[in-house]
C-alpha cells in the first residue's frame, strides 16, 4: 500500500482547498501538501470510506478511523500491531457529541470539559452501547477527548463522526511528533498521513476519570497536577494487578537502545569502549542550582558520543515538545546506551519523567 504525506506549512495551519496540488512521488511514498487542493479532503474521504488515516493533534500524531465502524477501527489495530486488549481514545467532532457516546453525569467532569476541551485532556466515562467493543477492548468505559489542532478539528468536523485515534506509532514505540516519524513507523501500512508540522506539546494527553468527586490521573501529560488542582482533589490512579492498558506498561514508550535514568549526569561514569548518549534538560541541569554551570566532574559532555538538551534554557514545556524527537534521534546514533537525566518533577516535568521511566526497558518489537 502506498503512503501519502499531506504537509501543512507549519503547526497550527488548518487545511486549505484553494491552492494547487504539489504532490510528489518518492519511491512507494507519495507526498501531498495540505495546502494543496487535495489537502484534508483526501483524509475526509478516506475516513468516510472506513480507512485509517494519520492526523496531527496538538499532543502527538494520531492514527484515526471512524470510531463507530468496527472494521475501520480494526485497521488501526492492524497497522499499529496493537493488541486488541488495549482500548483507544475517541476524539469528538464537537462537545455536544459526548452524550451520544458516553454518560457524563459528574459536574466536575463538565467543568473540566468546559475549561480544557478542545485540548490535551482525555476523560474516561461510562460508555453507551453505540461504541463498539473493539474501541474500548470490551470495557464499560470509554476514553474521550477533543483535539485543538486546526487540521484535526477540520477533518473530524467534516466527517462529523467520533474518531478513534491512538498515537500513530507501532505498538511499544515512541509516539510520533512529526509526520516523518509517522512515516518511519507506518509506511506502507496506511493510505495517508496529514502533515501539520511538529506537534505543539510533544507528549500525549493527560488522562483522568472522576471517582467519588476526585480527579484520578492515569497518565500525566500537558494538563499538569498543578492545573488540575484548581478544580478539585487530584490523586494518581494506581494500576491494579490486572493491567489492561499497555499505556501503563513500563515498555510502552521505549526506544530500541538501552536507556537508563539518573539524577545527575555528572555522576555517571562513562564506560570505556562503549558509545553512550546523554539526554538532559539543559546544559545547566542537574547541578541543583538551575542558574549555575555544570561543575567540573568525572563526566563531561566530551565523554558522550551524542548529547541532546531538551531545552537550552531549561524550559519544561519546550523540553516535553522535544522529548520524543530527541529520543528518536539518539536511538538512530548507534549507541550502546542512552543516559537520561531526570528533569525537575514540577509541572509537565512529571510527565517527562514518567515517559522516561517507561522508556527504561528496551522494547522487543
Q: Which residues contribute to the site for ligand TXA (CB under 6 A)?
A: 57, 59-60, 62, 86-89, 120, 122, 124, 136, 139, 141-143, 165-167, 204-205, 207, 245, 247
Minimum Å distance from CB 175 to Mg ion? 5
CB nearer ligand TXA, residue 39 or residue 221:
221
The DSSP call for residue 296 is: P
Question: Least distance from C-beta 151 to ligand TXA, angstroms?
Answer: 12
Nearer to ligand TXA, 120 or 255 (CB): 120
Closest to ligand TXA by CB, 15 vs 223, is 223
Q: Does residue 59 interact with Mg ion by CB under 5 A? A: no
Give the whole-angstrom CA distance, residue 298 versus residue 305.
16
Which of Mg ion, ligand TXA, none does residue 62 bind to, with CB < 5 to 8 Å depending on kind?
A: ligand TXA
Which partner, ligand TXA, Mg ion, none, binds residue 205 by CB below 5 to 8 Å per kind? ligand TXA
C-alpha–C-alpha distance, residues 29 and 5, integer Å: 8
Q: What is d(CA 159, CA 50) in angstroms, rounded to the nearest whole number?
A: 11
- Cβ proximity to ligand TXA: between 244 and 271 the closer is 244
Least gap, CB of 165 to ligand TXA (angstroms) = 5
- Comparison of 167 and 177: residue with beta carbon closer to Mg ion: 167
Q: Which does 66 bind (CB under 5 to 8 A by kind): Mg ion, ligand TXA, none?
A: none
Which one of ligand TXA, Mg ion, none interacts with residue 60, CB within 5 to 8 A by kind? ligand TXA
| Residue range at the interface with Mg ion (CB under 5 A); choices 99-107, 142-150, 164-172, 182-190 | 164-172
Say whether 187 sits in a helix, a strand or coil: coil
Q: Residues binding Mg ion: what is the number (CB under 5 A)?
A: 1
What residue number has its CB nearest to Mg ion?
A: 167
Cell 516519524 identifies what position? 181
Half-sphere exposure of 21 (CA within 13 A, CB side): 13
Q: Return the number of the residue (143 or 285) whose C-beta is nearest ligand TXA.
A: 143
Please report which residue ranges of 210-315 form alpha helices under DSSP H: 225-228
Residue 284 to residue 294: CA distance in whole angstroms: 6
By beta-carbon distance, which residue lies closest to ligand TXA? 247
* Secondary structure (3-state) at 192: strand
The sheet carrying 337-341 orders its strands as 259-262, 337-341, 276-280, 306-309
Cα-based angle 27, 30, 32 (whole degrees, multiple of 5)? 150
Q: With binding defined as CB under 5 A, does residue 199 bind Mg ion?
A: no
Nearer to ligand TXA, 221 or 314 (CB): 221
Q: Closest Cα to residue 248, out of 303, 198, 207, 191?
A: 207
Rounded Cα–Cα distance for residues 195 and 60 (Å): 12
Pairwise CA distance, residues 146 & 341, whole Å: 33
Which position has the grid cell 510520533?
Answer: 176
Which pairs from 291-296 meet CB under 8 Å and 24+ separation? 294/265, 294/266, 295/266
Binding region for Mg ion (CB under 5 A) out of 111-119, 131-139, 160-168, 278-286: 160-168
Per the listing, cell 498543578 goes with 226
CB of 93 to ligand TXA, least distance (A): 14
Taking CB under 5 A as the criterion, the residue among 167, 266, 276, 311 binding Mg ion is: 167
Q: Is the link from the previous residue into 97 a cis peptide, with omega within 30 of 0?
A: no
Taking alpha carbons only, the member of 194, 108, 202, 89 closest to residue 152 is 194
Which of ligand TXA, Mg ion, none does residue 136 bind to, with CB < 5 to 8 Å depending on kind?
ligand TXA
Report the nearest approach of Mg ion to the CB of residue 167 (Å).
Answer: 3
Residue 65 binds which entry of Mg ion, ligand TXA, none, with Cβ cut-offs from 5 to 8 Å by kind? none
Buried (b) or exposed (e) across 219-235, using 16+ Cβ within 10 A? bbbbbbbebbeebeebe
Decide whether 205 or 266 has the Cβ nearer to ligand TXA: 205
Least distance in Å: CB of 342 to ligand TXA?
22
Comparison of 88 and 198: residue with beta carbon closer to ligand TXA: 88
Give the binding site for Mg ion (CB under 5 A). Answer: 167
Amino acid at each position: 500500500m502506498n503512503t501519502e504525506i499531506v504537509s501543512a506549512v507549519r503547526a497550527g495551519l488548518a487545511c486549505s482547498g484553494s491552492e494547487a496540488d504539489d504532490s510528489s512521488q518518492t519511491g512507494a511514498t507519495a507526498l501531498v501538501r495540505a495546502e494543496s487542493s487535495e489537502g484534508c479532503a483526501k483524509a475526509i474521504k478516506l475516513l468516510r470510506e472506513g480507512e485509517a488515516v494519520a492526523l496531527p493533534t496538538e499532543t502527538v500524531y494520531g492514527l484515526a478511523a471512524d470510531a463507530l465502524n468496527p472494521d475501520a477501527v480494526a485497521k488501526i489495530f492492524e497497522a499499529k500491531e496493537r493488541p486488541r486488549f488495549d482500548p483507544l481514545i475517541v476524539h469528538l467532532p464537537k462537545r455536544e457529541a459526548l452524550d451520544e457516546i458516553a454518560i457524563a453525569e459528574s459536574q466536575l467532569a463538565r467543568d473540566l470539559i468546559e475549561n480544557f476541551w478542545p485540548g490535551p485532556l482525555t476523560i474516561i466515562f461510562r460508555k453507551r452501547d453505540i461504541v463498539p467493543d473493539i474501541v474500548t477492548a470490551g470495557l464499560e468505559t470509554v476514553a474521550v477527548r477533543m483535539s485543538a489542532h486546526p487540521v484535526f478539528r477540520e477533518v473530524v468536523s467534516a466527517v462529523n463522526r467520533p474518531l478513534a485515534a491512538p498515537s500513530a506509532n507501532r505498538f511499544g514505540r515512541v509516539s510520533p511528533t512529526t509526520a516523518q516519524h509517522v512515516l518511519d513507523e507506518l509506511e506502507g501500512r496506511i493510505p495517508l498521513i496529514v502533515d501539520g508540522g511538529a506537534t505543539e506539546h510533544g507528549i500525549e494527553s493527560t488522562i483522568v476519570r472522576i471517582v467519588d468527586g476526585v480527579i484520578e490521573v492515569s497518565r500525566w501529560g500537558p494538563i499538569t497536577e498543578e492545573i488540575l488542582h484548581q478544580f478539585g482533589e487530584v490523586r494518581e490512579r494506581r494500576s491494579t494487578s490486572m493491567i489492561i492498558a499497555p499505556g501503563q506498561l513500563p515498555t510502552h514508550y521505549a526506544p530500541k537502545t538501552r536507556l537508563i535514568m539518573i539524577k545527575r549526569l555528572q555522576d555517571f561514569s562513562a564506560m570505556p569502549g562503549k558509545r553512550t548518549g546523554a539526554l538532559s534538560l539543559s546544559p545547566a541541569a542537574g547541578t541543583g542550582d538551575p542558574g549555575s554551570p555544570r561543575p567540573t566532574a568525572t563526566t563531561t559532555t566530551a565523554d558522550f558520543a551524542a548529547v541532546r538538551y531538551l531545552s537550552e534554557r531549561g524550559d519544561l514545556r519546550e523540553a516535553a515538545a522535544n522529548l520524543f524527537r530527541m529520543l528518536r534521534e539518539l536511538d538512530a546514533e548507534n549507541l550502546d546506551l542512552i543516559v537520561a537525566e531526570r528533569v525537575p518533577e514540577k509541572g509537565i516535568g512529571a510527565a517527562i519523567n514518567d515517559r522516561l521511566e517507561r522508556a527504561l526497558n528496551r522494547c522487543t518489537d
